[in-house]
């Protein structure tokens, strides 16, 4: 009886092992079929969803005309992401040049700050919200903004900034091809989907047999490498911009390079001070205002520039050893980060001053891949 019992237990154990093996083999076969189907289906989808093609303009090294869009939109188009606080500062400099606001250095309770006073119709949504909340008698200081941000339990300052980013992103989307961006996102999804399936396929193959695992691992890595290479090449060939957007982005890129290389040019030969007054807000948006202002002072003469450009003090260090533009950028970036940190459970804001809080045009579509 004991021998029969042992034989039965052994038979049951063998049957269980056999059942488990069939489950593993069945899973491996199912994943193999699924992988082949995914590869075939993905290729079929890519063949039947071609991207829109546009002629590419001849790349310009340096471009000297003022872009046809606002400073923040220029930054967003060039970087393929939402604008940062440098871009917001450029917009505020533009508002000051258009006499929508007045910026002046003041000393408040032993603190150096900048007072913003409304002098016209304000079009910048961030400024609108700040004046609505803080603008007693249509005026507030950057210190007021920072103090408000420290007590800002609702993260309103960071929400104002995000609202402004959304406004800029919407303006930039006019020059983007939404269908192409969607295709780029779909291709990225396909690549990651293949990665997950191949990883699971290789993992299950290890339970089937050592030889099967070696073959599957080698084949899987080859397929994975080939898929990512092919998809990345396809994505790079898909334009995120429309024909008009490609021309504009080419010009903006050349314009920024001109500002970065300003030391190699005689600014007086590029244009008069009226033109440079239009250019300076863009320099601020690209974080290049100081070097441009310094070059203007060399080529035109500091006294001439200061007398001709009402907005020149915004860009050149004054009594506080900082330009008003630098003070605006630093203060607003600090207020936004403080506001975001206030409600962040991890204490981190994500770095508004470092680039953006998110991105436009399909999020990761702005990456290098």
Residue 131 lies in a domain: yes
Interacting residues of 48 by C-beta distance below 8 A, sequence separation 6+ = none
Q: Which residue, chain included where needed, has tokens 């001709």? A: 308
Judgement on whether residues 151 and 262 belong to the same structural domain of the protein = yes
Judgement on whether residues 200 and 297 belong to the same structural domain of the protein = no
CA distance 146 to 338: 8
The sheet with strand 139-141 has its strands ordered as 101-108, 111-118, 139-141
Coil, strand or helix: which one is 42?
Answer: helix
Q: Do 235 and 267 form a contact (C-beta atoms < 8 A)?
A: no
Judgement on whether residues 39 and 137 belong to the same structural domain of the protein = no
Q: Is 351 left (phi over 0), alpha (psi -120 to 50) or beta?
A: left
Which of 231, 210, 23 is CA-nearest to residue 202?
210
Residue 247 φ/ψ, nearest 5 degrees: -65, -45
Judgement on whether residues 28 and 143 belong to the same structural domain of the protein = no
Residue 8 lies in a domain: no
pLDDT of residue 368: 31
Which of 46, 39, 47 is CA-nearest to residue 197?
39
Residue 153 lies in a domain: yes
Judgement on whether residues 130 and 90 belong to the same structural domain of the protein = yes
Judgement on whether residues 227 and 321 belong to the same structural domain of the protein = no
Show the tokens assigned to 255: 């314009």
Q: Which residue, chain included where needed, has tokens 């505020």? A: 92
Residue 134 lies in a domain: yes
Judgement on whether residues 95 and 156 belong to the same structural domain of the protein = yes
Residue 150 lies in a domain: yes
Judgement on whether residues 212 and 263 belong to the same structural domain of the protein = no
pLDDT of residue 352: 39
Residue 6 lies in a domain: no
Whole domain around residue 165: which residue ranges? Answer: 63-177+244-343
pLDDT of residue 157: 86
Q: List the chain pLDDT tens, one digit each, 369 residues.
A: 666 666 666 666 666 766 677 788 888 999 999 999 999 999 999 999 999 999 999 999 999 999 999 999 999 999 999 998 889 989 988 998 888 998 887 887 777 788 889 999 999 999 999 999 987 779 998 888 888 888 877 788 888 999 999 999 999 999 999 999 999 999 999 999 999 999 999 998 988 888 989 999 999 999 999 999 999 999 999 999 999 999 999 999 999 999 999 999 999 888 888 888 899 999 989 989 888 988 998 998 888 887 777 666 666 655 444 455 566 667 777 777 776 665 554 443 333 344 433 333 433 333 333
Judgement on whether residues 216 and 101 belong to the same structural domain of the protein = no
With 0-12 CB in 10 A as exposed, 13-18 as middle and 19+ as buried, what is 44? exposed
Beta-strand relationship, 111-118 and 101-108:
antiparallel
Show the tokens assigned to 201: 């396929």
CA distance 280 to 278: 6
Judgement on whether residues 172 and 98 belong to the same structural domain of the protein = yes
From residue 166, give the alpha-carbon distance in Å to each of 81, 163, 268, 282, 357.
11, 5, 37, 19, 11
Q: Do 363 and 146 form a contact (C-beta atoms < 8 A)?
A: no
Which of 357, 369, 364 is CA-nearest to residue 168?
357
CA distance 141 to 135: 9
Show the tokens assigned to 18: 């056999």
Judgement on whether residues 124 and 267 belong to the same structural domain of the protein = yes
- Indicate the number of domains in the chain: 2
Residue 116 lies in a domain: yes
Judgement on whether residues 30 and 74 belong to the same structural domain of the protein = no
CA distance 328 to 332: 6
């Amino acid at each position: 009886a004991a021998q029969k019992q042992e034989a039965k237990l052994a038979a049951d154990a063998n049957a269980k092992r056999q059942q488990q093996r069939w489950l593993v083999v069945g899973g491996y076969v199912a994943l193999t079929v699924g992988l082949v189907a995914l590869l075939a289906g993905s290729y079929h989808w890519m063949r039947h969803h071609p991207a829109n093609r546009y002629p590419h303009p001849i790349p310009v090294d340096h471009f000297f005309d003022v872009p046809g869009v606002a400073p923040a939109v220029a930054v967003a188009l060039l970087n393929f992401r939402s604008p940062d606080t440098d871009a917001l500062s450029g917009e505020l400099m533009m508002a000051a040049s258009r006499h929508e606001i007045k910026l002046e250095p003041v000393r408040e309770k032993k603190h150096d700050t900048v007072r913003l006073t409304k002098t016209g119709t304000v079009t910048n949504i961030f400024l609108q919200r700040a004046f609505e909340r803080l603008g007693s008698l249509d005026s507030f200081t950057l210190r007021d903004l920072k103090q408000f941000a420290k007590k800002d339990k609702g993260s309103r300052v960071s929400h104002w900034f995000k609202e402004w980013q959304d406004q800029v992103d919407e303006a930039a989307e006019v020059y983007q091809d939404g269908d192409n961006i969607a295709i780029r996102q779909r291709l990225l999804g396909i690549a990651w989907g293949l990665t997950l399936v191949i990883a699971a396929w290789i993992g299950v193959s290890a339970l089937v047999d050592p030889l099967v695992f070696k073959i599957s691992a080698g084949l899987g890595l080859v397929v994975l490498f080939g898929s990512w290479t092919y998809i990345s090449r396809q994505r790079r060939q898909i334009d995120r911009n429309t024909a008009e957007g490609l021309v504009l982005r080419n010009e903006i890129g050349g314009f920024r390079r001109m500002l970065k290389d300003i030391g190699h040019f005689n600014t007086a030969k590029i244009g008069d001070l009226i033109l440079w007054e239009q250019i300076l807000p863009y320099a601020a948006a690209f974080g290049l205002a100081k070097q441009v202002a310094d070059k203007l002072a060399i080529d035109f003469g500091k006294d001439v520039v200061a007398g001709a450009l009402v907005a020149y003090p915004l860009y050149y260090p004054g009594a506080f050893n900082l330009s008003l533009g630098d003070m605006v950028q630093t203060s607003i970036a600090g207020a936004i980060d403080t506001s975001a940190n206030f409600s962040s459970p991890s204490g981190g804001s994500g770095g508004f001053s470092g680039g953006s809080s998110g991105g436009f045009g399909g999020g990761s579509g702005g990456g290098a891949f």
